[in-house]
């Protein structure tokens, strides 16, 4: 049994991760943005805390609440997108909003929870990125802010991986695949209940040899 912390655990991919981890007998700490969601997620067997990932004071409050609690694996899952899909619709508000949650928050959450991760046995940070953050496949058009935020998140993964390697950390960017969630939409090809089983199977087998990797949910590498 290990301790996982999953951000954005109340719906979509995060909820599927919480369900699957709890069913595997792990200790799950889930965060939700809205306190009215705490009870529902707690029913799945998770310990639930409120975290507004885009607010530094909320990240600091979470770290204070969790002081002294070892965490084996941090899954930075909470994410947002926007409607800025073509040149002409780009705007500062979308970039700021999306980068705060998708890029700045995972970096600051990992930093704030480093003492917890250092006290854990696995020392893993799994950043839920996207293939849409791959510069090599930049023709896969979606929100500009979203694509750029995930490319920048990949740099956070690469930097943390290098800086924490000597402490035995494994920091990875994962693409969860195109899932039927509020973000992925109804045309998506994957059921998160199935794809997240695969992602967790891959994650459970990760060693430090994968530190700094950018992987599909099924374990194949993605071109940066
Ligand atoms: N679905 C896909 O096909 C797909 C593909 C590639 C990557 N991803 C990535 O997978 C992750 C999960 O996506 P999803 O499809 O499950 O999205 P989703 O259904 O829209 O759920 C997003 C989750 O993130 C939370 N969240 C958003 N902003 C937050 C903030 N500022 N603070 C705290 N929590 C926040 C939401 O909380 P609320 O309920 O309170 O809004 C919700 O729990 C994201 O990082 C996304 O970029 C998804």
pLDDT in tens, 103-130: 999 999 999 999 999 999 999 999 999 9
Rounded to whole angstroms, what are the CA distances from 80 to 70, 130, 167? 28, 12, 31
CA separation for the pair 133, 120 (Å, rounded): 29
* Residues designated catalytic: 144
Q: How many residues does the chain have?
A: 224
pTM here is 0.98
Per-residue pLDDT reduced to its tens digit, 125-164: 999 999 999 999 887 679 999 999 999 999 999 999 999 9
CB of 54 sitting under 6 A from ligand 1: yes
Mean pLDDT across the stretch 78-104? 97
117 CA → ligand 1 middle, Å: 23
Q: Is 11 in the pocket of ligand 1 (CB under 6 A)?
A: yes
CB of 153 within 6 A of ligand 1: the answer is no
What structural domains does the chain harbor?
Answer: 3-216 (3.40.50.720)
| Per-residue model confidence (pLDDT) at position 140 | 63
Alpha-carbon torsion, ordered 174, 85, 156, 168, to 10 deg: 0
Q: DSSP characters for 112-176? A: HTHHHHHTSSS-EEEEE--GGG-GGGTTS-S-HHHHHHHHHHHHHHHHHHHHHGGGT-EEEEEE-
Q: Say if ligand 1 is within 6 A of residue 164 CB.
A: no
- Going from the Cα of 140 to the center of ligand 1, the distance in angstroms, rounded, reads 19
**Residue 137: its pLDDT value, please?**
87
Atom 6 of ligand 1: nearest residue by CA position:
130
């Amino acid at each position: 049994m290990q301790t996982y912390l999953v951000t954005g655990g109340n719906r979509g991919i995060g909820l599927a991760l919480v369900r699957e981890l709890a069913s595997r007998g792990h200790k799950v700490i889930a965060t939700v943005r809205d306190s009215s969601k705490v009870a529902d997620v707690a029913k799945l067997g998770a310990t639930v805390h409120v975290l507004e990932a885009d607010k530094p004071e909320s990240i600091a409050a979470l770290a204070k609440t969790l002081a002294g609690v070892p965490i084996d694996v941090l899954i930075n899952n909470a994410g947002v997108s926007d409607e800025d899909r073509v040149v002409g619709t780009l705007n500062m508000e979308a970039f700021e909003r999306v980068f705060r949650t998708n890029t700045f928050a995972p970096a600051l959450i990992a930093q704030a929870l480093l003492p917890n991760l250092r006290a854990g046995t696995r020392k893993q940070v799994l950043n839920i990125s996207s293939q849409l953050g791959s510069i090599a496949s930049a023709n896969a058009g979606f929100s500009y802010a979203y694509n750029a935020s995930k490319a920048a998140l990949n740099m956070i993964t690469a930097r943390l991986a290098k800086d924490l390697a000597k402490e035995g950390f494994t920091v990875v960017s994962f693409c969860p695949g195109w899932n039927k969630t509020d973000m992925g939409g109804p045309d998506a090809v994957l059921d998160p209940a199935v794809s997240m089983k695969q992602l967790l199977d891959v994650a459970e087998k990760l060693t430090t040899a994968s530190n700094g990797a950018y992987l599909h949910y099924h374990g194949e590498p993605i071109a940066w």
